[in-house]
Structure 1
Amino acid sequence: MGNAITRRGFVTVVAAGLLATGLAACGNSDTGDDAGDGNGKIVLGFSQVGAESGWRTANTNSIKESAAAAGIELKFDDAQQKQENQIKAIRNFIQQKVDVIAFSPVVESGWDTVLKEAKDAGIPVILTDRSVDSADKSLYQTFIGSDFVKEGRLSGEWLVEQTKNATGPVNIVELQGTTGSAPANDRKKGFAEAIAANPNLKIIASQTGDFTRAGGKAVMEQFLKANPKIDVLFAHNDDMGLGALEAITAAGKVPGKDITIITIDAVKDGMQALADGRFNFIAECSPLLGDQLMELVKKVHAGESVPARVETEETTFTQEQAKAALPNRKY
């Protein structure tokens, strides 16, 4: 399969879902003075993963803008992709006696101790974008974000449809997200489950690019040197796919034609690459969680019950759909 996959695949729309089944979930700091300042505003302490991608920047902007619009005082911390920074930030929020804590976990494991400290302090916690693997579901109120397994599955299902008539092996390389993170674990799982339907589809190399363009480029360079025949690249986010484009071009291959490229996110740069034919398919993961998050913050602060999981509404894109969506794209 040396040529790009060009036949149009099916498009699956990811509907928004609310799974209300009890209480479960998903640096530099400008935190300022103690929260109890008597101004009557809800004070939200938010710890962000970092600024590793265009998606994350759009996510941060959405949260900051939505907090301002909702009249919520935001104490924001950038963990710079380090769990120890995030744990320190959460403890700072507890000391400041904020009303609600929200964070997007760098990795899934290792949160029980600090989450119990927040619970003991009577501060409700909301998980955004990424989940944790804590067995005690009472440590957080809810999760808001995407179904990462579904994103990986939709990507794999599109590839299965495109290759259903393939007679020989289809060699796939995979650029994974940050090791141990929920999106990396889940997208890998969903994709692998989907491509199992076509025994010709083989993942011949899989390595983390840490969700960054630089990482995507460096790892793709290694893949190309080690594997003379690569038919498909599955990147866990657009930024790694965009970095890989440079490596593929430098190797004398045409991205989108010699190597079919599937990514996840649908940020503007990725959508432009898809519209230009350098990418072939993108499963959307919306970063615009701010408005929904602020509604949840208000509810948990008021002691109201909230769904265990709030999923964002997302879709998938082929080249023509990307061309149609780009003029009105917000991120």
Structure 2
Amino acid sequence: MPESRSLTSRRGLLFGTAAVSAGAFLTACTSNEPADSGEKTGADTRPAADDKPGKAVTIGYAGPQADHGWLNAVNENAKSRAEKYEDVTLEVTEGSNDTAAQIGQIETLINKKVDVLVILPADGKALTQVGLKAMRAGIPVVNLDRIFNSPQAYRCYIGGDNYGMGLNAGHYIGEKLKDKENAKVVELAGLDNLELTKQRTAGFDAALKNYPNIKKVARQAADFTVESGQAKMAQLLQAQSGFDALWNHDDDQGVGALRAIEQAGRDDFLMVGGAGALSAMQAIEADDGVLKATVLYPPTMAASAIDLARALGQGKGIGGLAEFEIPSSLTLYSAVVDKDNVDQYMPTGFK
């Protein structure tokens, strides 16, 4: 999963209920008459902001290499959203996780004089200078998810809430185990060298402090792949003969984790995933295994980034706000999806 930042002020927690996200709020981004949307699983399914054609806008999109389910969903959300607007032309670069290659691709878009740039950087710190270059060239930048080092490198930031993911996962588990004496939980984290992993763990630990009967007895870091999830989960299961709940940071590695759990014949705990993969939501709906919930990290943020870029290009604000300008920062809410609301979120599940 991509790096992001956390904000210290956030909305009240939702324990497995739906939240109004920044993405939903952006359906009014350029005011009137939302368009009907299709039922395309894994891509943005919300109505487009203002279907009425306005000033023509060329948006340059520099996203990641789609080597992970969530990253692929991000790219698809951006493309499908742009297709809903007659007045938007999307210039898409070949996705890259190589910083030098991505910098070159963005410089090409700058030289083409696109109206607005949407950039999900392979490395926010490494690409800060090219963001600054675009802004100085008069091209507003929508910085998607992995944040640049300087606010001068973007006009608007939109991303997920990693701390909030951990916080809401911890509270969901806490509420399920609050009446169990000496409850034990384990954590299957992502890559420990990523700031986002540290934020998710910090949020989880903060939530558990509200439940003195619960103790985290083990933590294992994986690397967001099915193979790593299976291997690291097998190690956790071997080391821990008994526990009550597992929080897994990422649904892609969760596929492997579930394989290891099935191979070990374990069903004595509940599992909470992260991100919102279609496979996770289907397992939650079936309710015949350990996976009971997943905490969203919505790939629809890319669709909302296109909304923001279009609004910037047309000089519009967001409907419902008094201000004439779009905000400088939007952090999406990490809603918990369980069997009670999975039907609502199923269309957003990514493969």
Give the TM-score band, short-chain normalised.
0.7 to 0.9
**Most deviating of 259-268 and 70-79:** 70-79
2:79 is the alignment partner of 1:64:
yes
Match of 2:337 in 1: 317
C-alpha contact 1:106 1:181 (8 A) present in aligned 2? no
> Is 2:176 the partner of 1:162?
yes
Letter of the aligned partner of 2:218 in structure 1?
A: I
The partner residue of 1:138 within 141, 152, 162 is 152
8 A contact 1:177–1:237 mirrored in 2: no
Q: Could you tell me which residue of structure 1 aligns to residue 16 of structure 2? A: 11
Q: Secondary structure at the match of 1:280?
A: strand
Deviation at 1:216, TM superposition (A): 1.8
Matched, 1:46 2:61: yes
Would you say the 8 A contact 1:65–1:290 is kept in 2? no
State how far apart, in whole Å, the 2-side matches of 1:325 and 1:13 are: 8
Deviations 1:181-222 (A, max 9, x none): 54x34322221211122243215123132x332332232233
Aligned length: 295
User: Aligned partners of 1:274 and 1:321: how far apart in 2?
Assistant: 10
Q: 1:180 aligned to 2:194?
A: yes
State the percentage of identical aligned residues.
23
Q: Where does residue 129 of structure 2 map in the other structure?
A: 113
Shift in Å, 1:272: 0.8
Give the Cα separation in 1 of the matches to 2:338 and 2:330.
Answer: 26
Amino acid at match of 1:54: G
What is the CA distance between 1:266 and its match in structure 2?
2.2
Partner of 1:83: 99
Which residue identity lines up with residue 273 of structure 2 in the other structure?
T
Superposition TM-score, scaled by structure 2 size = 0.73
1:209-254 Cα distance to aligned partner (Å, 9 max, x none): 2x3323322322333344444543212221111221111212232x
Partner of 2:326: 306
Deviation of 1:155 after TM superposition, in Å, equals 0.8
TM-score w.r.t. length of structure 1: 0.77
Distance 1:321 1:188 in 2: 25
Q: State how far apart, in whole Å, the 1-side matches of 2:79 and 2:71 are.
A: 12
Residue 202, structure 1, aligned to residue 216, structure 2: yes
Which residue in 1 is equivalent to 2:162?
Answer: 148
Q: Which residue type is aligned with residue 192 of structure 1?
A: D
Extract structure 1 runs of 4+ deviating beyond 6 A: none
- Deviation at residue 60 of structure 1 after TM alignment: 1.7
Q: 1:131 to 1:57 in 2, by over 3 A?
A: closer
Matched, 1:263 2:276: no
Decide whether the 8 Å contact of 1:177 with 1:236 is kept in 2.
no
State the distance in 2 between where 1:205 and 1:82 align. Answer: 30
Q: How far apart, in 2, do the equivalents of 1:330 and 1:159 lie?
A: 22
Residues 207 and 284 (structure 1), Cα distance of their counterparts in 2 relative to 1, 3 Å cut:
same
Task: Report if the CA contact (8 A) 1:52-1:212 is conserved.
Answer: no
CA distance in 2, matches of 1:252, 1:112: 48
**Aligned partners of 1:206, 1:241: CA distance in 2, in Å?**
13
1:34 paired residue number: none
CA–CA distance in 2 between the matches of 1:119 and 1:95?
Answer: 13
Q: Aligned in 2, Cα 1:43/1:271: closer, same or farther, shift over 3 Å?
A: same
Report how far residue 270 of structure 1 moved: 0.9
* Structure 1 segments unaligned to the other structure (5+ residues): 1-8, 20-39
**What does 1:237-276 align with in structure 2 at a 5 Å threshold?**
237-253=250-266, 257-276=267-286
1:248-292, CA deviations, whole angstroms, 9 ceiling, x for partnerless residues?
A: 212232xxx323211122232110111233311112232224543
Aligned-partner residue type, residue 190 of structure 1: G
Aligned to 2:90: 74
Secondary structure of the residue aligned to 2:147 is: coil
Looking at structure 2, the residues matched to 96 and 226 of structure 1 have their Cα atoms a distance apart, in angstroms, of 56
The equivalent residue for 1:32 is: none
CA contact (8 A) 1:101 1:126 kept: yes
Distance 2:261 2:83 in 1: 42
In 2, Cα distance between equivalents of 1:225 and 1:176: 19
Note if contact 1:241-1:261 (Cα within 8 Å) is conserved in structure 2: no
* Residue 177 of structure 1, CA deviation: 5.0
The 10-residue stretch of structure 1 (220-229 or 196-205) with the greater mean CA deviation from structure 2: 220-229
Separation in structure 2 between the aligned mates of residue 330 and residue 270 of structure 1, nearest angstrom: 8
CA distance in structure 2 between the aligned counterparts of 1:265 and 1:62, rounded to whole angstroms: 15
